[in-house]
Amino acid sequence: MRIFAVVPPLILGLAAIGFAAEHNPPPVQPATSFPAVESHPDEHVAIAVEPYDTKEKESIFRVDYIDHDVMPVRLIVTNLGDKPISLRDARILFETANGDRIQAAEPEDVERLMTRRERQGSKIPLPAPLPPIHTKPKGSMSEIEQDFNTFEYSALAVEPHTTRAGFLFYDVSGLSHPLAGARLYVRSIRDSEGNELFYFEVPFDKYLQSKSGQMN
Q: Using CB atoms within 10 A of its CB, is residue 164 exposed (0-12), middle (13-18) or buried (19+)? A: buried
Question: What is the predicted pLDDT for the residue at 214?
Answer: 67
Q: What is the pTM of this model?
A: 0.81
pLDDT above 70 (res 169): yes
Helix (H, G, I), strand (E, B) or coil at 185: strand
Q: What is the pLDDT of residues 93-147, one digit of tens each?
A: 999 999 999 999 999 999 998 887 666 654 444 444 444 433 444 568 899 999 9
Looking at domain 27-215, its CATH class is mainly beta
| Closest by Cα among 91, 110, 111 to 101 | 91
pLDDT above 90 (res 215): no
**d(Cα 117, Cα 138) in Å, to the nearest integer?**
9
